Structure 1
Amino acid sequence: MLDNITKKNIDDCRDVLVGKVPDPKSQIEQITLALIYKFMDDMDKEAVEKFKGKAKFFTGEYAKYGWRKLFDPSLSGQDMLALYSEALEKLNTNPNIPELFRNIFKNAYLPYRDPSTLKLFLKYINEFEYSHSEKLGDAFEYLLSVMGSQGDAGQFRTPRHIIDFVTACVNPQKNETVLDPACGTAGFLLSAYKHILNQNTDKRQGDKLKPDDRKKLAINFVGYDISPDMVRLSLANMYLHGFATPLIHEYDSLSSEDRWQETFDVILANPPFMTPKGGIRPHKKFGVQANKAEVLFTDYIAEHLNSNGRAGIVVPNGIVATSQTAYKQLRKMLVQDSLIAVISLPAGVFQPYSGVKTSVLILDKRLAKKSQHILFLKIENDGFDLGAQRREIDKNDLPSALQTLEAFKECLSNDRAFEDLPSLATLVEKEIVLENKDIVLSAERYFEAKVSLTEFELAKLEDICDVRDGTHDSPTYVMDGFPLVTSKNIIDGKIDFSNVNLISREDLDKINKRSLVEDGDIIMPMIGTIGNPIIVKKEREFGIKNVALIKFNENTKVNNVYLKYILGSEQINDFFLSEAKGVAQKYVSLGLLRSIEIPLPPLEIQQQIVAEIEGYQKIIDGAKQVVNNYKPTITINPDWEMVELDQLCDVRDGTHDSPKYVLENGIPFVTQKNITKEGLSFDDIQFISREDHQKIIKRSNVEFDDIIISMIGANRGMSCVIDDTREFSIKNVGLIKPLGKINHTYLLYFLKSQNAQEYISLMSSGGAQQFIGLTTLRKFPIPVPDVVEQTEIVKAIEEEMQLVNANKRLIEIFEQKIKTKIGEVWGVKEEVSEL
């Protein structure tokens, strides 16, 4: 069990390294090497002092590298650095060290040359006390979990509860071989190992395993990874969990043929989603010819199962829905050969490091031969909220999904029909899946069939409304003209005209011949943020592009407010998610919109539904007035000293460059739009490469407890404190690092106050896009009362914040009531928790 002292030591080590080694993976490596270095020396010390034997590791010409020699008082800081650096590079040649440890130290080096940093780092490492690898294992597991929360370019991003869930779905047994072909830090392998131990436990973990069972376990777990750094971490992690000689191989699963003939009983993986520029050049043995990593890895796993093998694979949405030929060939092969279940995970599971939608494919070659169906499971909640913080909540569909999958497998094994499906599950015949031209495996598509639960008749949208779209042309923009509203301009239930392009009267008239927007019409984005319908309250003329237009007449059988809520419902959003085309920019066609079927109660019932929802909405609007208009108030005493911000803090800004965005596995790139009243939001975020991130943080490395502030646009002056340790880069954002001269919470509240916001508005420059410069920000006059008064001000404001937070909770409850009411129209029953 991890103790608080060990946890603090890990945190201290990270704090020391972060200035010189900002890359989390490199931090892990340096701490790992130091921990194992000291561990070997501790074992030598124990052998000599406790058992009166001889040292085993640091002997002969390698005795000079003993850990304790680093702390010789006669060594200068530079001498210590030279000795430690030399030791790291020489330990992999020490014949007295087991091959496992030599592999861990292979290509090891010290990435910085600052003696004071090394001295402090080694001091904290030296405070670790452990006489057994289990203690070191606890430390290492915590280290990986902390770094996992930072999400290094996808390497550590698989959440532990998802790993354990996938493992439980596949249910590996003690006599089975297990592979992860992209093993990272060996998370899936160790999850499978612990799963087997727990299955064979009476009084203590694994006590029902016989000696022969344990010998087999030691050679049954195999991992591949292309990265030598990941291999090093996997070796260490496996060793520290009881594997004396872990079978972790540095191997390119997609390009090398050396291990192609090896097959396994169980394969578990969350393979890389990202494909290098130019694609991958695989060998010719793959059944599906492709150059995308996600396709090749999925194919590799399916092809390397034994005749009765099983697999659990975390895959991006492209694998289940993309219509390119290679993806369709892969899905056809899976359906025909091994797929028994598809589990749709919530879109926020891997936030904020990748917004990609994911699913879990469950393969079972034996049961697939007996099944005419595929089980689709849709996870709404995984035990954590889907915000950037991923806070634990009490709603969790994973246990029910696992139970349903186990029942399905049991029925297949015993040749029984599987009939008792919970609401999160649906069975689809393989023939139906294969008949679809794209062979889509997206769970959302097949859950649309459950719409029939509604008691009302279904009607196609084109049969009850006039459904059009905006212009398909690209009119010339002008300086003085009429707004051209696109998908990006529909935000939070209204049209945002602040960032809209203008077109001429002539172009507007052309657009209006096709799609004239009138008061009471509904418009809805068709590209990017698909959905989000709004009812137009027309106060000015404008044209539309990439936007659907839904018009009504006096004979229309649908209430426009009712239709807005239906089109914004979870059921329609799921439909769009499953049917949208495109890769970088998702879109839906006009034909698809027209074909949507919606429940159509009589107009009188529609009006009753609208009246109930609008009652809830008034409560929400009132609570939002409190939340949106609240600003901390600090009455400034003229006796307080006024101090410029850069005298109290280190004040910088983000990059001035425009790095290229990457689709997946990147580092979040925070701009002014991500700073909200609620704090830092990763909901609408772009990602950049690790290389660009490293360049940016040399100038502006954001750390825990720093304050960031928007410097440009409508929300300039919006600020928040950084309350977690995840990595990101910044642009158009000020970075404020308190120097201990002011209570940083007081400073944050002052920056949010009306006085501060008025100053920022007054000092802003620019035309259409107002901004506050870095020099102005640094010279920002801050009122500084004494420390006691700062604390009292913070306490008073936090009491006010409790009332604001109660209103936020009110908003959540009544938004859920609206969702529940709309769900009832579709035939879905939900309970709403109260305050």
Structure 2
Amino acid sequence: MFTEGDLPKVWKIKKLTEICDVRDGTHDSPKYKNEGYPLVTSKNVATGFIDFSDVNLISKDDYDNINKRSYVDDGDILMPMIGTIGNPIIVKKDRKFAIKNVALIKFTKTDVSNKYVKLFLESIHFKHYIKKINRGGTQKFISLKDIRNFPVILPPIEKQNKLIKILEKAEKIKEWRVEADKLTDEYLKSVFLEIYNSASHHPDLKADYLSESLRDVKNGLSRRRKISENKGDIVLRLKDIRENKIDLTELNRIPLNELEKEKYGVERNDLLFIRVNGNKDYVGRCAVFREFNENIYFNDHIMRVKIDSNQFNPIFLAFLINSEYGKKQLKNHLRTSAGQYTINQKGLERLKFYQPDISLQNSFVDLFNKIEILKKDQFNSEIKIKELFDTLMQKAFKGELVC
């Protein structure tokens, strides 16, 4: 970290608490409800947004009590304090919620920009600071006191705004990289639709119930871990199952006994299917497990589905269930209970699809595999872009950019 002597004149180094109102969410553990207000925790703060797909609900009384101290306004910054520390977001609310295990940074001064502070919290300075003071043992943790004491390089507001413009332009390159990934996904979906539409219009093919293609369906582990503990075996949660992708970046661990391992193990080509959620659009979202360097298990928000590979390639079937065809049928088989939408094995079996020739399905999956390799190359490109962006940020915060 620099001293003020290393910086341009009139630039200052201030503790975050000197320039912002820094708080956090509740330290209590409210009782969760089937209906109520979302309680956003560190795990729900995703890159650039709040992920409400796996959020717990609390009563109005608990919501009101938490918000007496920790009410979140538009323009505030939220940042996880446990697990994935950092990852700040600027709030743009579309619903009411309360917070727990999340830092809340409010802006009361006109000479401090929330966009500038967010960029500084994303910089290498904060990463080094976390590493230096991390005291979470096996799980990372940063205290409210440490966040308040974080030293921020603060230029005058005019300079802050100019640096924001430069860095936001540089961020566009990162956004273009993401856009390239989206275009790749859209191309893959268009090939899928061409194959399936041909099958649905083939005079010799008729739609069959999915029950004809299922070998085994099982719900997962009901046991959960304490928030502060994250060790043992990897147990997939609802939030880890994306459309046609399993996200293994934030591993949820629980020590399992041998019987649980035998019952809830995941094997290559198993289809993992979300069976319950408060948002009906997430129910039925699914992906196929390919491989990982550890054994994988799954919790009871998920169904593990084993497919007859002579009838459906599991990856092709996942695309089919995640498509508009699949989503439309899924909605006809959902049940509602206490604010949660669910689908059971019987509902899954009653989905009805055309079956393209297995050779066509396999050719689609060959294309999918090639695109996955391409995505790995794109990911490496993304890393290089991020490194260049970090270097640019370093120069910006040292006052070395001409603007």
TM-score normalised by L of structure 1: 0.39
Cα deviations by residue, 1:239-280 (Å, 9 ceiling, x for unpaired): xxxxxxxxxxxxxxxxxxxxxxxxxxxxxxxxxxxxxxxxxx
SS at match of 2:158: helix
Aligned equivalents of 2:106, 2:293: Cα separation in 1: 49
Q: Mark the runs of 5 or more structure 1 residues left unpaired by the alignment.
A: 1-447, 830-835
Cα distance, 1:729–1:468 mapped onto 2, change above 3 Å? closer
From 260, 263, 267, the equivalent of 1:703 is 267
Please tell me the residue identity of whatever aligns with 1:637.
S
Which residue pairs with 1:754 in the alignment? 324
State the match for 1:547 in structure 2: 102
Larger Rg: 1
Matched, 1:534 2:100: no
> Counterpart of 1:681 in structure 2: which amino acid?
D
Counterparts in 2 of 1:453 and 1:534: CA distance versus 1, 3 Å: same
Provide the C-alpha distance between the structure 1 equivalents of 2:303 and 2:283, rounded to a whole number of angstroms: 13
Structure 2 CA distance, aligned partners of 1:545 and 1:523?
11
Q: Secondary structure at the match of 1:573?
A: helix
- The yes-or-no answer on 1:769 pairing with 2:334 is no
Match of 1:93 in 2: none
Q: Mapping of 1:307-456 within 5 angstroms?
A: none
1:645: which partner in 2? 210
CA distance in 2, matches of 1:761, 1:451: 60
Checking the alignment, whether the CA contact within 8 Å between 2:47 and 2:89 is kept in structure 1 is no
Match of 1:733 in 2: 302
Query: Which of 169, 182, 185 lines up with 1:615 in the alignment?
Result: 169
1:680 deviates by 2.4
For residue 608 of structure 1, report the CA deviation from its aligned partner.
2.7
The amino acid across from 1:569 in the alignment is S
1:491 maps onto 2:46 in alignment: yes
Compared with structure 1, are the counterparts of its residues 809 and 585 closer, same or farther at alpha carbon in structure 2 (3 Å cutoff)? closer
Matched, 1:501 2:64: no
Counterpart Cα distance in 2 of 1:622 and 1:758? 32
Shift in Å, 1:596: 0.8
SS of 2:200's equivalent?
coil
- Structure 2: runs of 5+ lacking an equivalent: none
What pairs with 1:54-73 in structure 2 (closer than 5 Å)?
none
Aligned mates of 2:155, 2:363 — CA distance in 1: 57
Instruction: Tell me which residue corresponds to 2:389.
Output: 818
Q: 1:584 to 1:602 in 2, by over 3 A?
A: same
**Structure 1 match to 2:290:** 722
Quick check: 1:672–1:716 contact (8 Å CA) kept in 2?
Answer: no
1:672 to 221, 238, 247: 238
Distance 2:180 2:328 in 1: 20
| Alignment TM-score, normalising by the size of structure 2 | 0.75
* Contact residue 266 and residue 289 of structure 2 kept, 8 A: no
Q: Distance in 2 between matches of 1:808 and 1:503?
A: 42
CA distance in structure 1 between the aligned counterparts of 2:180 and 2:275, rounded to whole angstroms: 25
Contact 1:487 1:529 in 2 (8 A): yes
Q: Secondary structure at the match of 2:253?
A: strand
Matches within 5 A, 1:567-646: 567-583=121-137, 586-621=140-175, 624=178, 627=181, 630=186, 631=189, 632-633=192-193, 634-635=196-197, 636-639=199-202, 640-646=205-211
TM-fit CA distance, 1:597? 0.7
SS at the partner of 1:458? strand
Measured against aligned partners, the alpha-carbon deviations of 1:152-204 in whole angstroms (never above 9, x if no partner) come to xxxxxxxxxxxxxxxxxxxxxxxxxxxxxxxxxxxxxxxxxxxxxxxxxxxxx
> Are the equivalent residues in 2 in contact too, given 1:704–1:724 (CA < 8 A)?
no
Q: Distance in 2 between matches of 1:655 and 1:515?
A: 35
Change (3 A) 1:485 1:672: closer
Distance (whole Å) between structure 2 residues aligned to residue 584 and residue 753 of structure 1: 39
- Whether contact under 8 Å (1:523, 1:534) holds in the other structure is yes
TM-fit CA distance, 1:762: 3.2
Query: In the alignment, does 2:223 pair up with 1:658?
Result: yes
Does the CA-based 8 Å contact 1:487-1:528 persist in structure 2?
A: yes
The aligned residue for residue 742 of structure 1 is 311
Contact 2:220/2:303 (8 A) holds in 1: no
- 2:49 alignment partner AA: K
Task: Answer yes or no: is the 8 Å Cα contact 1:712–1:769 preserved in 2.
Answer: yes
**In the aligned structure 2, how far is the partner of 1:542 from the partner of 1:812?**
34
Amino acid of the structure 2 residue aligned with 1:466: D
Which SS does the other structure have where 2:276 is aligned?
coil
Cα separation, 1, equivalents of 2:70 and 2:222: 39
Counterpart residue number, 2:250: 684
Post-superposition shift, 1:684?
Answer: 2.2
Whether the 8 Å contact between 2:139 and 2:230 is mirrored in structure 1 is: no
Whether the 8 Å CA contact 2:266–2:297 is kept in 1: the answer is yes
Q: Does the CA-based 8 Å contact 1:704-1:725 persist in structure 2? A: no
Q: Cα gap change, 1:538/1:772 in structure 2, threshold over 3 Å: closer, same or farther?
A: closer
Q: CA deviation at 1:784?
A: 1.6
Check conservation: 1:523, 1:549, Cα contact below 8 A. Answer: yes
SS in 2 for 1:763: coil
> Which residue of the partner structure matches residue 785 of structure 1?
356
Aligned length: 378
Task: Deviation per CA, 1:598-653: give whole Å up to 9, x if none.
Answer: 22233333223321332244454465467567444231423324333343342322
Letter in 1 for 2:60: S
Output the amino acid matched with 1:645.
L
Structure 1 residue 814 displacement after superposition: 4.5
Following superposition, the deviation at residue 761 of structure 1 comes to 3.5
Query: Given the superposition, is the C-alpha separation of residues 787 and 614 from structure 1 closer, same or farther in structure 2, using an over 3 Å criterion?
Result: same
Alpha-carbon separation, structure 2, partners of 1:746 and 1:540: 36
Residues 69-90 of structure 1: CA distance to partner in whole angstroms, max 9, x if unpaired?
xxxxxxxxxxxxxxxxxxxxxx
Task: Check if 1:561 corresponds to 2:115.
Answer: yes
The whole-number CA distance in structure 2 between the counterparts of 1:670 and 1:787 is 29
Q: Is 2:77–2:118's contact at 8 Å kept on the other side of the alignment?
A: yes
Instruction: Give the match for residue 414 of structure 1.
Output: none
Kindly report which structure 2 residues correspond to 1:85-96, keeping only aligned pairs within 5 A, or say none.
Answer: none
Deviations 1:199-240 (A, max 9, x none): xxxxxxxxxxxxxxxxxxxxxxxxxxxxxxxxxxxxxxxxxx
Per-residue deviation, residues 419-444 of structure 1 (Å, max 9, x unmatched): xxxxxxxxxxxxxxxxxxxxxxxxxx
Distance apart, 1:564 and its partner CA:
0.4
Given that 1:494 and 1:534 are in contact with CA atoms closer than 8 Å, whether structure 2 keeps it comes out as yes
Cα pair distance change 1:490/1:452, threshold 3 Å = farther
Q: What is the CA distance between 1:806 and its match in structure 2?
A: 8.0
Note if contact 2:220-2:304 (Cα within 8 Å) is conserved in structure 1: no
8 Å CA contact 1:481–1:505 kept in 2: the answer is: no
**Which 10-residue stretch deviates more, 596-605 or 510-519?**
510-519
Contact 1:743-1:791 at 8 Å conserved across structures: no
Shift of 1:560: 1.2
Q: Partners in 2 of 1:483 and 1:664 — Cα distance?
A: 23
Give the distance between the partners of 2:283 and 2:386, measured in 1 at CA. Answer: 25
Please, what is the CA RMSD of the aligned residues?
A: 4.0
**What secondary structure is seen at the aligned counterpart in 2 of 1:784?**
coil
Whole-angstrom CA distance in 1 between matches of 2:285 and 2:63: 37
Give the match's secondary structure for 1:820: helix
